[in-house]
Structure 1
Amino acid sequence: MLNVRTSILAALISGFAALAVVPGTALAYDENSTAAVNVDAQGVGLQGYDPVAYFTDKAPVLGNSAYKASHNGVTYHFASKAHRDQFTANPAHYAPQFGGFCAMGVALDKKLDGDPQAWKIVDGKLYLNVNKEVQKKWLEDVPGNLKKANMEWPQIKDKAPKDL
Structure 2
Amino acid sequence: MTINPFVIAHRTAKITVLFIMLSVSHFAFAQDPIETGFFNNKAIYGYDTVAYFTSNKAVKGDGAFTTQWRGADWFFSSQAHLDLFKNEPEKYAPQYGGYCAYAMATGDFVGIDEDAFVIDNGKLYLNYSASVQQKWLANKAQYIEQADAQYLMQYPASK
Q: TM-score range by the shorter chain?
A: 0.7 to 0.9
Q: Give CA-to-partner distance per residue, 1:46-73, whole Å, 9 cap, x none.
A: 0110000000011110110111112111
Q: 1:37 aligns with which of 34, 38, 41?
A: 34
- Residues 144-155 of structure 1 aligned to structure 2 (within 5 Å): 144-155=142-153
Q: Percent of aligned pairs with the same residue? A: 34
**Unmatched tracts of structure 1, length 5 or more:** 1-31, 159-164
CA distance in 2, matches of 1:67, 1:144: 36
- The structure that is helix-richer by fraction is 2
Residue identity matched to 1:85:
D
SS of corresponding position for 2:73: strand
Q: 1:21 matched to which residue of 2? A: none
SS of corresponding position for 1:147: helix
Give the C-alpha shift of residue 33 in structure 1: 4.3
- RMSD value, Cα: 1.7
**Unmatched tracts of structure 2, length 5 or more:** 1-28
- Tell me if structure 1 keeps the 8 A contact 2:31–2:109: no
Q: 2:70 matched to which residue of 1? A: 72
User: Number of paired residues?
Assistant: 128
Alignment pair present for 1:123 and 2:133: no
- Tell me if structure 1 keeps the 8 A contact 2:41–2:72: yes
CA distance in 1, matches of 2:78, 2:34: 23
The structure whose RCO (Cα within 8 Å, separation 6+) is larger is 1
Q: 2:130 matched to which residue of 1? A: 132
CA distance in 2, matches of 1:156, 1:136: 25
CA distance in 1, matches of 2:116, 2:31: 23
Please identify the structure whose Cα radius of gyration is greater: 2
